[in-house]
Amino acid sequence: MFSFFKNLVKQDQKVSEEELKKELREESLVDLNELDELEITKEEPVSQEAAPEATEPGIKVNTELSLHPEWEAQLDNEKKYTLRFLQAELPKMTLGMVGVTGFSLMPQPQGGVTVAMFFRNGSPTPVSFRKIRLTVYLDDTPFARMRLDLSDLGTIPPFSSRPWEVHFPAESFLHDNFDFQNWKVMLHGVKSPYVWPNELELDPEMEARMTARQKDRLEAIAYTLPPLKAGSVEITGFDIGKTKDGRLVIGLLFRNGRFSDFNPKVLKIAVYEKEGGDLVASGMIDAKKIRVRSKTSRPWMVVFPAEIIKKKDANLRDWYMEITT
C-alpha cells in the first residue's frame, strides 16, 4: 500500500506542485446508470440541502477528498496534503457521473503493475464500487485489462474522490511492450452504449492454417481497434496476400457488438487498391458457416480464385475493401 508515493518524490525530495499536476492522467467518466447492481451499489441520495449546487442535470460539480479509514489512520499530514492537492486539481464532474483518474503507474519487482487512481463520485448518491472492468492504456493502446472486486474501497460519499491502489498482475497484460509516453485508466460499464468485443474466438483448424504473420497481425488488431456502438457489427481486414497459384487470400476479423449471434448468409466483398482506387477482386461469399457470438470477435479467411482477380499486378501494400451482407 502507498507505493505510489515513490513516484511522487525525486532523490528523496518532494516534487513541486507543478510537477505533481503533471502526474494526473486523463479521466474516464461513466454515467451512473450504465453500471448495474453487480458493479456498483447506490445508497439513498443526500438531501438537496446538503448539496445545493446539484439542483439540475447537466451541471458541473466539484469534488472533495475522501480517504478510506485505513488511509486516514496511516497517512501523515504531508501525504494527506499531497492527495488533497492532487484532488483539488481534478476537473469538475458532470452531475450523475462516476469515474477514475490515474496519477501513478509503477511496475512491481514481483510482476505486474500497480496503478494509483482516484475513484470519483459526481452524484448526490453515496456509491460503493463492486466488480468493475478497468483497462490500462499506454499511448491509447490497451495494455492491461481485468475485472476486479473493489468492495474494500468502501463507500464514496457524494461529490467525493477517493484515492486507491489497484494491482494489475502480469496475466492481465495484453502485450509486453512497456515503451510509452502517456498512460491512462478507463472504466467500463456493462450497460455502456459501447462494446469492446475483444474476446477472440479462434477455430483450431483455422489457426493451423494461419501463418505466423497472420497470427501476429490478428493479435495486434484485436486489442487496438476502437469500441463498437452497442448493437453493431464491424468487419475489418487484417491481412492480404497472394498464393503461388495466384489466389487472393484475405483475413477478416468479425466483431459483434450485438446482444445476439451474428450469422450472415452471404457476404459481398470488393477489394481495391488504396492508391487510384482500382478494383482488385470482387465476389459473393457463402457465409453460412460464419457464426460470431455476442460481444466476441472471430477471424475468417476468404479466398478469391485466381480466375476472378481483376488486377493481377495490384499493389497490396495499401488496400481497402467494401463489404455488405
121-137 pLDDT, tens digit per residue, is: 999 999 999 999 898 98
Using 50, 70 and 90 to split pLDDT, how confident is the model at 50? very low
Residue 296 pLDDT > 50, yes or no? yes
Residue 226 has pLDDT above 60, yes or no: yes
Confidence at residue 75, expressed as pLDDT on a 0 to 100 scale: 93
Predicted confidence band of residue 52 (pLDDT cuts 50, 70, 90): very low
Look up the CATH architecture of domain 199-324.
Sandwich (2.60)
Confidence of residue 223 (pLDDT cuts 50, 70, 90): low
Which pLDDT value is given to residue 49?
43
Confidence of residue 43 (pLDDT cuts 50, 70, 90): confident
Hey, what amino acid is at 78? Answer: E
Specify which of 12-16, 47-51, 311-315 reaches the highest per-range mean pLDDT.
Answer: 311-315
Q: Is the pLDDT of residue 187 over 70?
A: yes
Determine the Cα–Cα distance for residues 213 and 227; give it in Å rounded to an integer: 24
Mean pLDDT of 74-102: 94
Q: Considering the chain, what percentage of its residues have pLDDT values greater than 70?
A: 89
The confidence score (pLDDT) of residue 63 equals 97
Give me the phi and psi of 106, to 5 degrees please.
-130, 120
pLDDT over 80 at 44, yes or no: no
The C-alpha atoms of residue 157 and residue 64 are separated, in whole angstroms, by 9
State yes or no: pLDDT of 55 exceeds 50: no
Reported as a pLDDT band with limits 50, 70 and 90, residue 140 is confident
Phi then psi for residue 313, to 5 deg, are: -105, 25
Query: Does the pLDDT value for residue 280 go beyond 70?
Result: yes
Strands 40-42 and 64-65 turn out to be unpaired
Contacting residues for 71 by C-beta, under 8 A, at least 6 apart? 163
Give the whole-angstrom CA distance, residue 146 versus residue 119.
Answer: 16
Every domain of the chain with CATH number 2.60.40 lies at: 199-324
Instruction: Quickly state the pLDDT bin for 54 (edges 50, 70, 90).
Output: very low
pLDDT of residue 321: 94
pLDDT for 58 equals 64
